[in-house]
Amino acid sequence: MKHLMLGCGIVVLLCQKLEEQVGKVQEKEEVLAKKGQAVSEESKEETAEDAELAVEAKLIAAQEEIAGFRDKLLRAAADFDNYKKRMERDRNAAMKYAGEQILREILPVVDNLERALTQGVVPGVEVEANLAALMEGVQLTLKSLLTVLEKFEVKAVDSVGQPFDPNVHEALVMEPSDVVPASHVLNEFEKGYYYKDRLLRVAKVIVSSGKAGA
């Protein structure tokens, strides 16, 4: 009986010790769980903070990029506006002085005419000689003027002996001719001219009516 009671007491003691150990283990688990939860919450807070900082950094970078694009756009707009103004100035200048080149080419013709008039009248020289010198000077001047016109693609309308064409000819009168057929240009009163492929001026002509009495 004593042995049985002793055994029961030992069992009770062992159960108490076991319960104490289990209690301690549970306490440790609770402490660890609380610590783990705290660590987890702290990690979450750190992760959220890092994410917020990353978003702020991206936002700043995007704002800087937008500012750069805005600056480039303003510069491009200013450059384009300056380009338009420069082109407008150049266009106005080109229109204002469009005839500068052809006038520069004609000035030597004026010089030749002045020289011809000066040399055409020489004191002490016969009238016939003066007239011949004047005619020669005028012919040379005309030749130089026609050269200038050809340079700028101005050419005369071929009229004499050609069929009358109302598109390029203006008939002033009709005269009989034994040489030039009827309805053909007998003579020119004023030459016509083309400028490139466009008619610059019609030719004023005398048109043949055919043989007299025909």
**CATH number, domain containing residue 175:** 2.30.22.10
The predicted model gives 102-128 an average pLDDT of: 72
Residue 171 lies in a domain: yes
Counted domains in the chain: 1
Tokens of 81: 């506006």
60-76 residue pLDDT tens:
888 888 888 888 888 88
pTM (global) more than 0.85: no
158 SS3 class: coil
**6 pLDDT tier (thresholds 50, 70, 90):** very low
Q: Work out the burial of residue 186: count CB atoms within 10 Å of its CB; fewer than 13 is exposed, 13-18 middle, 19 or more buried.
A: buried
Which is more confident, 13 or 184? Answer: 184
**10 pLDDT tier (thresholds 50, 70, 90):** low
23 SS3 class: helix
**176 pLDDT tier (thresholds 50, 70, 90):** very high
Range of the domain at 169: 155-214
List the one residue out of 117, 115, 103 whose CA is nearest residue 145: 103
pLDDT of residue 4: 42
Which is more confident, 126 or 170? Answer: 170
User: What percent of the chain has a predicted confidence (pLDDT) above 90?
Assistant: 23
